[in-house]
């Protein structure tokens, strides 16, 4: 049902997932006249070379770079030709460098020390995808806070997280750094992490400047190939990929990193449309824009710049402000700015943003910020941090299957066989992007079991490596399984086979691991058999799903990986995580996500001419939001406070959930919405709210949510964000397959939420 009249009530500009963010830190500070006056006064004293220096970031010695990249040297700092560094960490090292900047350089401008603190610093938390599986934003915020405390004590002031890319194709290795496929979950997690990193005030010694990355639509790269082009519609861009960035910006994220992929042929590092029109004007971002590593120089191979100098000019024009490790700006911008007034103004604007970031961090008054050896010693890997990491690790696991209550395992087993090389792999336990973590400090599955005070014998056989063809160890693993009372098979992919530049063409278990699993399962027939998965993406595991009674998705859980797994295996904790990505039956289903649009011929098993594969079921192996517990939950009817409402009204929705099992547990109550008829086909359902609740055995709770126009809106054919009248169906339950439903009707006129955003270029 459509209406031609669109009243000019323009509400939120972009993004459906508005969180209860406190007032944005960045805009408060930027709007601060004192800050601006101060920054302008510093700017006025700088030569063009010194200004370009502020836009230059150099890598620490030892970081892997191309041969032409200049290193951050004391001489450069002393000359006032460096604004920031990447990769220098440690209170003493950073203080030494900062002392040169603020005592010996001409204008005494402090440096920014940047690093990737992706999922913890020395205390390593679950990888972001795993943390998203907790559906617990308070937890994500607390983890980010701890990471910020440890990182700042070690001299870091600028963090390259959170990664807020939506990713729907697990072939892309960087899905592990994301919150998965859903814009709403992604937006909530983005805001939580920004708040955690930045704290209540950026000038607090334990606050880190957060970076929302990679702007934008990096997760949509074609075929899951890292660095590739993303070919996508304007509607998907605004509706799916931008909301988490808006959420991060609304939460005050101080910087944004450009993506080094491209969108419809236009690399973000070269796109003024993206960085100026969309990011600055449409999304009201007033912080700092940083390039990705070598993102400027790569404009040449992208085919949009003739040479590196041309790349520098294009990137500056586009709105890239800090050159991360390319060495392009220091080599070319000063010359350009001398002859080109527009470039001079652009350089000034960029330097202003760098200086404002430094000002907001309080570096002009306390250049050392949190860097302090004693604090570092006190907070790093503190008992409190490790305890939080363990809570996070427990909440992040997803019990995919548990036939016959195989899990939890009995503590009175005589011998437990643990099979699979990953069980002893401490580097993988930490997961990728554990830049400051130490592998020796993370508990493997075996270490966790050893520490769990179990009276049983634990025997280990590697069986097969996660990659490769070698099956020579399988026989020994089979023998171990035959002699054991219960078997835990640890399967998946090494931590270093996920993350950047780790795209995969096959999500299936490699042949050697599959053979190991099959032969061990045969040997363990009749005994409790559990598959523990360690991976950073959705895997296609149809054989395991059919043949192994219990499957626990453990991802990479960080420092307390093995301890938390032992907690779940033996029932000290009942699993509560939910999948933030859809698990496919085969790689060929990629990209697969629950919030797809319907077709004109929805699948009908009796009708060949409906949407289908002729060689595979259409449905996923495990849907988004799926995750079991050791207890069970039942849902009551979905109640909607009113059956009709105007588009600008809000509506209360509630559902009762009861713990029907015998033990206490957490459930993530999920609410999905479908706009039944609209001028543009809407997703079959989309997540609009969720809440994690703890319920004692037998207890019930009525969970209430309020929905408003922002939840109902979409981009129409003219790309205006509107709410159209008509019926909406709600689904509440334990996964995206939730079947309890109710509906309400929006009456009256179409509501205009915002005019069309900048058209794609
Ligand atoms: C990655 C970024 C990261 C940067 C600095 C790049 O290769 O794409 O996500 O922040 O390196 O380490």
Q: Give 531 or 59, the one with higher predicted confidence.
A: 531
* Domain end marker among 589, 623, 655: 589
Q: Are residues 645 and 561 in the same domain?
A: no
Mean pLDDT of the chain: 94
Look at residue 73 in the predicted model and tell me its pLDDT. Answer: 75
Measured in Å, residue 459 CA sits from the centre of ligand 1 at: 40
Domain with 702 in it: what CATH number? 2.60.40.10
Look at residue 31 in the predicted model and tell me its pLDDT. Answer: 54
Q: Are residues 583 and 673 in the same domain?
A: no
Q: In this structure, is residue 474 part of a structural domain?
A: yes
Q: How many domains does the chain have?
A: 2
Q: In this structure, is residue 707 part of a structural domain?
A: yes
Mutate to test the pocket of ligand 1, among 84, 85, 160, 174 (most ligand atoms within 8 A of CB): 160
Mutate to test the pocket of ligand 1, among 119, 292, 501 (most ligand atoms within 8 A of CB): 292
Look at residue 67 in the predicted model and tell me its pLDDT. Answer: 44
Q: What is the pLDDT of residues 33-48, one digit of tens each?
A: 999 999 999 999 999 9
Q: Are residues 417 and 536 in the same domain?
A: yes
Strand partners, 671: 689, 732
Q: What is the pLDDT of residues 690-733, one digit of tens each?
A: 999 999 999 999 999 999 999 999 999 999 999 999 999 999 99
Supply the residue whose CA is at minimum distance from atom 5 of ligand 1. Answer: 293
Average pLDDT for residues 561-566, to the nearest whole number? Answer: 98
Residue 539 has pLDDT above 90, yes or no: yes
Q: Are residues 550 and 416 in the same domain?
A: yes
Q: In this structure, is residue 403 part of a structural domain?
A: yes
213 C-beta closer than 6 A to ligand 1: yes
Question: Percent of the chain beyond pLDDT 90?
Answer: 93
Residue 72 has pLDDT above 70, yes or no: no
The encoded tokens of residue 306 equal 């003739």
Residue 1 has pLDDT above 60, yes or no: no
Q: In this structure, is residue 299 part of a structural domain?
A: no
298 C-beta closer than 6 A to ligand 1: no
Residues noted as catalytic = 292
Domain membership of residue 710 as a residue range: 633-754
Q: Are residues 579 and 644 in the same domain?
A: no
CA-closest candidate to residue 516, choices 404, 401, 422, 589: 422
Within 408-499, strands assigned E span 415-419, 457-461, 486-492
Question: Buried (b) or exposed (e) across 196-220, using 16+ Cβ within 10 A?
Answer: bbbbeebbbbbbbbbbbbbbbbbbb
Q: Are residues 539 and 442 in the same domain?
A: yes
Look at residue 200 in the predicted model and tell me its pLDDT. Answer: 96
Residue 13 has pLDDT above 70, yes or no: no
Q: Are residues 649 and 567 in the same domain?
A: no
Q: Are residues 411 and 550 in the same domain?
A: yes
Q: In this structure, is residue 250 part of a structural domain?
A: no
Q: Are residues 568 and 664 in the same domain?
A: no
Q: In this structure, is residue 268 part of a structural domain?
A: no
Q: What is the pLDDT of residues 109-126, one digit of tens each?
A: 999 999 999 999 999 999
Supply the residue whose CA is at minimum distance from atom 10 of ligand 1. Answer: 160
CA-closest candidate to residue 429, choices 459, 396, 458: 396
500 C-beta closer than 6 A to ligand 1: yes
Q: In this structure, is residue 658 part of a structural domain?
A: yes
pLDDT tier for residue 10 given thresholds of 50, 70 and 90: very low
**340: helix, coil or strand?**
coil
Q: Are residues 460 and 570 in the same domain?
A: yes
Q: Are residues 446 and 522 in the same domain?
A: yes
* Domain end marker among 527, 558, 589: 589
Measured in Å, residue 48 CA sits from the centre of ligand 1 at: 28
Q: What is the pLDDT of residues 651-692, one digit of tens each?
A: 999 999 999 999 999 999 999 999 999 999 999 999 999 999
Q: Are residues 420 and 493 in the same domain?
A: yes
Domain with 411 in it: what CATH number? 3.40.50.1700
Question: What is the side-by-side order of every strand in the sheet holding 633-640?
Answer: 633-640, 651-659, 700-707
Binning the chain into helix, strand and coil, the percentages to the nearest 5 are 35, 20, 45
Neighbour tally for 501: CB within 10 Å: 8
CA-closest candidate to residue 448, choices 532, 527, 530, 559: 559
Q: In this structure, is residue 620 part of a structural domain?
A: no
Average pLDDT for residues 413-442, to the nearest whole number? Answer: 97
Report how far residue 155's alpha carbon sits from residue 95's, in angstroms, rounded to the nearest whole number: 7
Look at residue 59 in the predicted model and tell me its pLDDT. Answer: 87
Look at residue 68 in the predicted model and tell me its pLDDT. Answer: 47
Yes or no: say if 522 and 514 are a contact pair by the CB < 8 Å rule.
no
* Domain end marker among 563, 589, 615: 589
Measured in Å, residue 291 CA sits from the centre of ligand 1 at: 9
DSSP 8-class letter at 536: S
Report how far residue 278's alpha carbon sits from residue 292's, in angstroms, rounded to the nearest whole number: 18
Look at residue 62 in the predicted model and tell me its pLDDT. Answer: 57
Average pLDDT for residues 89-95, to the nearest whole number? Answer: 96
């Amino acid at each position: 049902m459509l209406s031609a009249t669109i009243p000019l009530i323009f509400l939120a500009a972009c993004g459906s997932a508005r969180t209860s963010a406190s007032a944005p830190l960045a805009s408060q500070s930027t709007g601060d006249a004192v800050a601006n006056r101060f920054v302008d006064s510093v700017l006025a004293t700088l030569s063009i070379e010194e200004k370009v220096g502020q836009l230059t970031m150099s890598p620490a010695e030892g970081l892997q770079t191309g041969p032409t990249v200049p290193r951050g040297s004391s001489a450069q700092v002393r000359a006032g030709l460096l604004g920031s560094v990447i990769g220098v960490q440690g209170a003493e090292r950073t203080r030494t460098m900062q002392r040169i900047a603020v005592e010996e350089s001409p204008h005494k401008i402090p440096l920014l020390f940047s690093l990737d603190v992706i999922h913890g610093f020395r205390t390593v938390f679950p990888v972001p995808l795993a943390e998203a599986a907790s559906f617990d934003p308070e937890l994500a915020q607390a983890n980010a806070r701890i990471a910020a405390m440890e990182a700042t004590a070690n001299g870091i002031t600028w963090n390259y997280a959170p990664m807020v890319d939506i990713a729907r194709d697990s072939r892309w290795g960087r899905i592990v750094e994301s919150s998965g496929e859903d814009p709403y979950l992604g937006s909530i997690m983005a805001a939580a992490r920004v708040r955690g990193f930045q704290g209540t005030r950026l000038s607090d010694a334990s606050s880190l400047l957060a970076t929302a990355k990679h702007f934008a639509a990096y997760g949509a790269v074609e075929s899951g190939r890292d660095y590739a082009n993303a070919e996508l519609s304007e509607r998907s861009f605004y509706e799916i990929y931008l909301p988490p960035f808006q959420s991060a910006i609304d939460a005050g994220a101080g910087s944004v990193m450009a993506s080094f992929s491209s969108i419809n042929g236009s690399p973000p590092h070269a796109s003024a449309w993206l960085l100026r029109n969309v990011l600055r004007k449409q999304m009201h971002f007033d912080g700092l824009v940083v390039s990705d590593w070598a993102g400027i120089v790569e404009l040449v191979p992208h085919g949009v710049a003739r040479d590196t100098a041309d790349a520098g000019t294009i990137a500056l024009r586009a709105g890239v402000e800090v050159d991360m490790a390319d060495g392009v700006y220091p080599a070319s911008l000063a010359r350009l700015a001398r002859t080109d007034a527009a470039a001079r103004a652009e350089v000034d604007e960029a330097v202003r943003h760098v200086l404002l970031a430094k000002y907001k961090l309080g570096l002009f008054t306390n250049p050392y910020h949190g860097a302090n050896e004693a604090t570092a010693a006190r907070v790093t890997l503190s008992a409190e941090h490790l305890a939080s990491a363990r809570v996070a690790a427990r909440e992040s696991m997803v019990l995919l299957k548990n036939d016959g209550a195989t899990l939890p395992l009995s503590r009175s087993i005589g011998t437990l066989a643990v099979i699979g090389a990953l069980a002893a792999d401490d580097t993988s336990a930490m997961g990728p992007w554990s830049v400051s973590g130490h592998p020796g400090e993370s508990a493997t599955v075996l270490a966790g079991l050893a520490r769990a005070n179990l009276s049983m014998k634990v025997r280990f056989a590697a069986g097969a490596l996660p990659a490769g063809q070698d099956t020579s160890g399988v026989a020994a693993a089979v023998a171990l399984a035959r002699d054991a009372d219960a078997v835990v098979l640890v399967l998946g992919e090494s931590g270093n086979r996920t993350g950047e530049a780790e795209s995969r063409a096959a999500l299936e278990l490699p042949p050697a691991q599959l053979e190991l699993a099959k032969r061990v399962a045969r040997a363990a027939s009749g005994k409790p058999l559990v598959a523990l998965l360690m991976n950073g993406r959705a895997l296609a595991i149809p054989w395991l799903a059919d043949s192994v009674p219990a499957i626990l998705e453990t991802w990479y859980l960080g420092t307390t990986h093995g301890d938390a797994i032992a907690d779940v295996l033996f029932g000290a904790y009942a699993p509560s995580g939910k999948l933030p990505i859809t698990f496919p039956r085969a790689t060929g289903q990629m990209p697969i996500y629950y919030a797809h649009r319907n077709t004109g011929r929805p699948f009908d098993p009796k009708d060949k001419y409906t949407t289908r594969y002729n060689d595979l079921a259409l449905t996923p192996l495990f849907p988004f939001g799926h995750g079991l517990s050791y207890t069970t939950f039942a849902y009551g009817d979905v109640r909607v406070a009113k059956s009709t409402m105007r588009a600008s009204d809000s509506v209360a929705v509630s559902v009762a959930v009861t713990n029907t099992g015998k033990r206490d547990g957490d459930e993530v109550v999920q609410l999905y919405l479908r706009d039944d008829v609209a001028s543009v086909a809407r997703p079959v359902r989309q997540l609009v709210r969720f809440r994690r609740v703890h319920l004692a055995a037998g207890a019930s709770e009525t969970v209430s949510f309020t929905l408003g126009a922002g939840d109902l809106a979409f981009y129409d054919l003219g790309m205006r964000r509107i709410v159209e009248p008509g019926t909406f169906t709600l689904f509440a339950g334990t996964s995206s397959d939730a079947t309890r439903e109710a509906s309400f009707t929006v009456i009256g006129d179409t509501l205009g939420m915002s005019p069309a955003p900048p058209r794609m270029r």
